[in-house]
Amino acid sequence: MRTLINWTVGAACVTVIVTGFSALPGEAQDVKSDRRDLRQDTRDVRQDRRDTRQDTREIRGDRQEIRQDTREIRGDKQEIAKDTQEIRQDRKDLQASRQQLRDAYKSGDAAAIKAARENFQKNRGELHGDLKDRRQDVKELNRDRQERRADVRELHRDKQDRREDGRELREDKGERRDDAWDLRQDRRELGARRAK
């Protein structure tokens, strides 16, 4: 008798469970769908946070590059100023050696003429060398300025990307909140129907 009652109760429970699930397929699907949406939103939030951290690292790197470019520009300007001073001095020396060469020609002394020519050639070579150095320093300065401008543009792009990632993060958090609320609501409705 006891076995018969156990079998009857077990069969009734199985019938109620199967009937309950077959009567509520839509709500169960809603719960599954909401769970899936919630998991996807959580993944999206994690990815958005990773993107934001990556953008922040890139911004830090861009700022370091800009500081380095600024230091290089400052150094290039100092080198140009130094080269300009050397050029002025070389021009004065060249002018003095021209005068010395004129005086040597007036005197007619061959040794003085030879010494004055050598001095003139030396001063002219130094002037040309310093002019070449200054031209090279100006090129480096322009290159460094271009690099800094490119780094500043990249910094602005990275900041814009970080702002967009922040917006996406907020949107995904809102979607996750909504999906969590929908999931709780569907579970309540499913529980209330099962209780009836």
Share the mean pLDDT of the chain. Answer: 82
Range of the domain at 15: 2-195
Residue 130 has pLDDT above 80, yes or no: yes
Domain count for the chain: 1
pLDDT category of residue 8 using cuts at 50, 70 and 90: low
Residue 146 has pLDDT above 90, yes or no: yes
The neighbour count for residue 34, using CB atoms within 10 Å, is: 20
- pTM beyond 0.75: the answer is no
Residue 52 has pLDDT above 90, yes or no: no
d(CA 57, CA 78): 32
| Model pLDDT, residue 24 | 46
| Model pLDDT, residue 174 | 87
The neighbour count for residue 156, using CB atoms within 10 Å, is: 12
46: CATH: 1.10.287
CA distances from 48 to 42, 61, 149, 155 (A): 10, 20, 29, 19
